Amino acid sequence: MTIRKLFLLPGDGIGPEAMGEVRKLIAWMNETMSTCFETDEGLVGGSAYDAHGEAISDSDMEKAMAADAVLFGAVGGPKWDDVPYEQRPEAGLLRLRKDMQLFANLRPAICYPALAQSSSLKAEVVEGLDILIVRELTGGVYFGEPKTITDLGNGQKRAIDTQVYDTYEIERISGVAFELARTRQNKVCSMEKRNVMKSGVLWNEVVTATQKANYSDVELSHMLADAGGMQLVRWPKQFDVIVTDNLFGDMLSDVAAMLTGSLGMLPSASLGAPDGVTGKRKALYEPVHGSAPDIAGTGAANPIAMIASFAMCLRYSFNMIEEADLIEKSIANVLDRGLRTGDIMSDGCTKVGTTAMGGAILDELKALSA
């Protein structure tokens, strides 16, 4: 039997509460399905700072590097607002992304039919929506040098950020987008600002060349990133996979997120390059939401984003497509039956807490698998 090594980093706030529901799914799958997950757990964020004085310890970092996949909850909270910058809770996540070289961030925006009415857009615009934003995560303007604020000495200061991309970075992220498109509707839309940015010109050239060379079966279109933002709220269902850089991806994925309702519904994955020998990618799966200190400890957190992140892990790290589909179907069915956590509550539905929602999804999974 293949052993799949999962490293769990629940983190702070609602992170551990949401992770608890995933732990139950893993335990049940280990008991009843032909899977064998070996799990280990570590500390990240504020909880790691309290224990070790840093946002992730070297030994937990080693375990993350050795695992087949990392499941991450959330980090941060007011308790750690004043810790030194280098040890702030987010530094743990940034170190994981950097050391594991997770260059591809995948953010699906799926609108479950039962939640179409709670989107800020008209139901017919979002119902059945299923798009995937592939964002470059380790390059671009967030990391480019120089990155400075200079005192000009005349009462003025000058701030500089540098947008920089090399060919290989664009090739590898567009390769991920084309490969994922092949498992979906086979369409990729690339977004940049080639009308005003040199990096946009190169981005466009390299994505086009990559498609021609290796993915001519996948339909490719291009859109300026600002127009893409408009189209996302006008008619999002025109998109299948969107590939874009770090900065535009940050914004466009948040826009897409709001099409689907609450933050508590949104999973994500961050992937590295395939290993030369095993072909496996390093991978980290996490909900998009933060540690929600306002509801932490009340049992009110929506565990769906965390559970859906686990489903992404099954899909992308272990090729367990059937099991991932079953978990997503279980979520949809439970929502169809009217169960809601507070963040997605609407009239006529039944309000439940974290464990009841997680339990209902597990029960549904059991029923669907019977």
What are the catalytic residues?
A: 142, 193, 226, 250, 254
The interface mask with ligand NAD, positions 256-275, x = CB under 6 A, is -------xx-----------
Q: How far is the CB of 321 from ligand NAD (least distance, A)?
A: 26
Helices within 220-296 (DSSP H only): 225-234, 246-259
| Gap between the terminal Cα atoms of the chain | 22
Hey, is 11 helix, strand or coil? strand
Q: How far is the CB of 102 from ligand NAD (least distance, A)?
A: 13
- How many helices and strands, by DSSP H and E, does the chain display? 12, 14
Q: Is-contact 343 263, C-beta < 8 A?
A: yes
Closest among 250, 245, 335, 328 to 288, alpha carbons compared: 250
Tokens at residue 353, please? 């807490």
Q: Name which of 163 and 341 has its Cβ closer to ligand NAD.
A: 341
> Which one of 201-209, 217-225, 230-238, 294-302 is the stretch in contact with ligand NAD (CB under 6 A)?
294-302
Taking the CA of residue 185 as centre, how many other CA atoms within 13 Å lie in the half-sphere pointing to its CB? 14
Site for ligand NAD in 76-105 (CB under 6 A): 76-77, 93
Q: Does 255 bind ligand NAD (CB under 6 A)?
A: no
Q: Name which of 76 and 272 has its Cβ closer to ligand NAD.
A: 76
Q: Does 174 bind ligand NAD (CB under 6 A)?
A: no
Closest among 312, 349, 313, 318 to 334, alpha carbons compared: 349
> Which one of 95-103, 167-175, 189-197, 290-298 is the stretch in contact with ligand NAD (CB under 6 A)?
290-298
Hey, is 282 helix, strand or coil? strand
Binding residue for ligand NAD (CB under 6 A) from 210, 291, 330, 333? Answer: 291
d(CA 172, CA 274): 10
Site for ligand NAD in 329-348 (CB under 6 A): 341, 343
Site for ligand NAD in 3-42 (CB under 6 A): 14
Tokens at residue 102, please? 């997770």
Q: How far is the CB of 231 from ligand NAD (least distance, A)?
A: 26
> Which one of 50-58, 153-161, 180-188, 288-296 is the stretch in contact with ligand NAD (CB under 6 A)?
288-296
According to DSSP, the β-strands at 267-274 and 281-287 are: antiparallel
Q: How far is the CB of 230 from ligand NAD (least distance, A)?
A: 25
Q: Is-contact 197 164, C-beta < 8 A?
A: no
Amino acid at 67: A
> Which one of 28-36, 112-120, 172-180, 282-290 is the stretch in contact with ligand NAD (CB under 6 A)?
282-290
- Binding-site size for ligand NAD (CB under 6 A) equals 21
Q: Name which of 301 and 361 has its Cβ closer to ligand NAD.
A: 301
Q: How far is the CB of 93 from ligand NAD (least distance, A)?
A: 6
Q: How far is the CB of 306 from ligand NAD (least distance, A)?
A: 7
**94-123 b/e with 16+ CB inside 10 Å = b?**
ebbbeebebbbbbbbbbbbebbbebbebee
Q: Does 75 bind ligand NAD (CB under 6 A)?
A: yes
The interface mask with ligand NAD, positions 187-226, x = CB under 6 A, is ----------------------------------------
Q: Does 301 bind ligand NAD (CB under 6 A)?
A: yes
According to DSSP, the β-strands at 187-192 and 241-244 are: parallel
Task: Give the other-Cβ count within 10 Å of 42's Cβ.
Answer: 23
d(CA 8, CA 15): 11
Closest among 342, 345, 263 to 309, alpha carbons compared: 263
> Which one of 56-64, 179-187, 235-243, 284-292 is the stretch in contact with ligand NAD (CB under 6 A)?
284-292
Q: Does 302 bind ligand NAD (CB under 6 A)?
A: yes
Closest among 203, 182, 131, 175 to 281, alpha carbons compared: 175
Q: Does 317 bind ligand NAD (CB under 6 A)?
A: no
Binding site for ligand NAD (CB under 6 A): 14, 74-77, 93, 263-264, 286, 289-295, 301-302, 305, 341, 343
